[in-house]
Amino acid sequence: MTLKVYNVMSRTKEDFVPLTPGIVKMYACGITVSGDAHIGHAYQSVVFDVITRYFRYLGYDVKYVRNYTDVDDKIIANAAKTGENPIDFAEKYMKQTDAEMDGLGNAHPTIMARATQCMDDIINFVQKLIDNGHAYVSEFGDVYFKLDSFSQYGKLSHVQTDKNDTGVRKDVEPGKQNDLDFALWKSAKPGEIAWKSPWGMGRPGWHIECSAMNLKYLGEQIDIHGGGRDLIFPHHENEIAQTESLTGKTFAKYWIHCGLVKVNGQKMSKSLNNGILLKDVLAKYDADTIRFALLRNTYSADIDITDSLLPESLKHVYKMYSVLEAVKNMDFSGADKAKTDEKIHEIVLEFEKSMNDNFNTLEVIANAFGWFSFINAELAKKTTEYDLYAIANKIKELFKVLNILQKEPAEYVEQIRSSILQQNNLTVADIDKAIVARAQAKQDKDWATADQIRSDLLNKGVLLKDNPTGTSWDVNL
Ligand SMILES: [Zn+2]
């Protein structure tokens, strides 16, 4: 089976063939640290984390670079509001975002690049574009990319630049020769944070930092360039223009973009005030649940964060962990090895088929429901021919790629149970006491009291289950 990747450049699914056998060089545009990270940042970072993990699963050596934009107009403006130094302001949010990415269960990229740490590379890049006629310095000390010098402009986004409504107008950015030209270097206003350059004090434009960091860390050509779909134009189009004008070579072989985040069917926006901050989600839900919610989707599609998405996801993840825990304590020594191996083989094939189809995690999760139903159905029988522990363990191993189900099942189940009890001001002792009281009420044929005890607990998220050996309980998510 070959991995097929949807390439936004060709708008088709293509076989993945790396530039160098066995190696994947991937860059995904990271976050501008101008404030708290939101659920959209979480979505994009988890998608590229899973893509990286799947390449590693396939045996590739992956070099994955992400960046922080740690200087730009918005950072400067937001820092000014609080009176902070923009460098300290960016540093603060970078640290916070790093911790949140860890909290989400993302592996660290091979390199976390930062614009302010690549200033020499950025300046050199711009100078080379000036030298080869692709850029010019304005009378105000700004440097612009000369758009009509790059004939292939628009090949990724298919945006028609002759429509003339795509660039920042000349009267907004004086010194430009053409509305469509975009800034590579911006001269500093008095008092603004600035770096020394051949064109005076200033700071880089946003697009150039990604081209310069790519060149610095991954070289002239990369396998995959990724980001959110909103970056296709102009950001990625501009990156292509800059890099290919410098190298004369195709920049990225595959362009991968993930969809955007909606909240209850609406676009997440400042004006609707419906933004969901990552720190708020992490305060309420564990990483498994959040990843499950984000990955139960095809990455290229928009994702709708409905009010029920995370509670529903928690329910599914909890059930899966409960099954992993249940089979752990059972004896399958009499199982049929050949039958078990056959089932495991089938599961692995299904998993790889879905992932090879453009990283289809939605399908992986749909299949996993089937795998867990199979285990549950076998558990419900008096005897089973399968080693359900071995099967569950294989599912767990495959789910490493999604970084879900990797915790110790007993600990996860216990953690969720205690948080539900805590939210409802209940203790295990309270529940045990209620079970005894209910048994007594039943013995006294006081059915009304027995039912009342059961429904009181249910209202507090605890479900009593009567079985031949007595009454057990579980949280009712
Ligand atoms: Zn970028």
- In terms of Cβ atoms closer than 10 Å to its own Cβ (0-12, 13-18, 19+), residue 59 is exposed
> Whose CA is closest to 48, among 321, 248, 313, 231?
231
Contact 185, 204 (CB under 8 A): yes
User: Tens digits of per-residue pLDDT, 351-369?
Assistant: 999 999 999 999 999 999 9
Contact 463, 475 (CB under 8 A): yes
| Centre of ligand 1 from the C-alpha of residue 33, in Å | 13
Predicted pLDDT of residue 426 = 95
| Centre of ligand 1 from the C-alpha of residue 242, in Å | 12
| Centre of ligand 1 from the C-alpha of residue 29, in Å | 4
Predicted pLDDT of residue 217 = 98
Dig out the tokens for 421 from the structure: 């009890």
| Centre of ligand 1 from the C-alpha of residue 110, in Å | 17
- Is pLDDT larger for residue 171 or for residue 208? 208
| Centre of ligand 1 from the C-alpha of residue 141, in Å | 24
pLDDT at 146 > cutoff 60:
yes
Average pLDDT, the chain: 95
| Centre of ligand 1 from the C-alpha of residue 120, in Å | 18
Predicted pLDDT of residue 360 = 98
> Would 4-267 and 307-409 be classified into the same CATH topology?
no
Q: 169 falls in which pLDDT band (50, 70, 90)? A: low
User: Tens digits of per-residue pLDDT, 276-290?
Assistant: 999 999 999 999 999
Fold topology of 307-409: Four Helix Bundle (Hemerythrin (Met), subunit A) (1.20.120)
| Centre of ligand 1 from the C-alpha of residue 213, in Å | 9
| Centre of ligand 1 from the C-alpha of residue 345, in Å | 40
User: Tens digits of per-residue pLDDT, 454-463?
Assistant: 999 999 999 9
Q: Is the peptide bond before 234 cis (omega within 30 degrees of 0)?
A: yes
| Centre of ligand 1 from the C-alpha of residue 373, in Å | 42
Contact 343, 385 (CB under 8 A): no
| Centre of ligand 1 from the C-alpha of residue 68, in Å | 9
Whole-angstrom distance, CA of residue 240 vs CA of residue 156: 9
| Centre of ligand 1 from the C-alpha of residue 225, in Å | 9
Question: Of 159-163, 319-323, 410-414, where does mean pLDDT reach its minimum?
Answer: 159-163
> Whose CA is closest to 477, among 423, 394, 420?
420
pLDDT at 168 > cutoff 90:
no
Predicted pLDDT of residue 32 = 94
| Centre of ligand 1 from the C-alpha of residue 71, in Å | 13
- Is pLDDT larger for residue 59 or for residue 469? 59
| Centre of ligand 1 from the C-alpha of residue 70, in Å | 12
Q: 272 falls in which pLDDT band (50, 70, 90)? A: confident
Whole-angstrom distance, CA of residue 399 vs CA of residue 123: 43
Whole-angstrom distance, CA of residue 174 vs CA of residue 13: 43
| Centre of ligand 1 from the C-alpha of residue 389, in Å | 44
CATH superfamily of 4-267: HUPs (3.40.50.620)
Q: 468 falls in which pLDDT band (50, 70, 90)? A: confident
The DSSP secondary structure of 37-71, one letter per residue, reads: -BHHHHHHHHHHHHHHHHHHHTT-EEEEEEEEE-S
Dig out the tokens for 272 from the structure: 């609707």
User: Tens digits of per-residue pLDDT, 398-451?
Assistant: 999 999 999 999 999 999 999 999 999 999 999 999 999 999 999 999 999 999
Predicted pLDDT of residue 448 = 96
Predicted pLDDT of residue 116 = 94
User: Tens digits of per-residue pLDDT, 177-221?
Assistant: 998 899 999 999 888 899 999 999 999 999 999 999 999 999 999
What DSSP element (H or E) covers 373?
A: helix 361-380
| Centre of ligand 1 from the C-alpha of residue 235, in Å | 6
- In terms of Cβ atoms closer than 10 Å to its own Cβ (0-12, 13-18, 19+), residue 453 is buried
Predicted pLDDT of residue 170 = 67
Whole-angstrom distance, CA of residue 101 vs CA of residue 94: 10
Contact 403, 291 (CB under 8 A): yes
pLDDT at 164 > cutoff 60:
no
Predicted pLDDT of residue 162 = 64
| Centre of ligand 1 from the C-alpha of residue 351, in Å | 31
pLDDT at 172 > cutoff 80:
no
pLDDT at 161 > cutoff 90:
no
Tell me the domain boundaries of the chain: 4-267, 307-409, 424-475
| Centre of ligand 1 from the C-alpha of residue 34, in Å | 15
| Centre of ligand 1 from the C-alpha of residue 441, in Å | 67
Q: 469 falls in which pLDDT band (50, 70, 90)? A: confident
Q: Percent of the chain at pLDDT above 90?
A: 92
| Centre of ligand 1 from the C-alpha of residue 166, in Å | 18
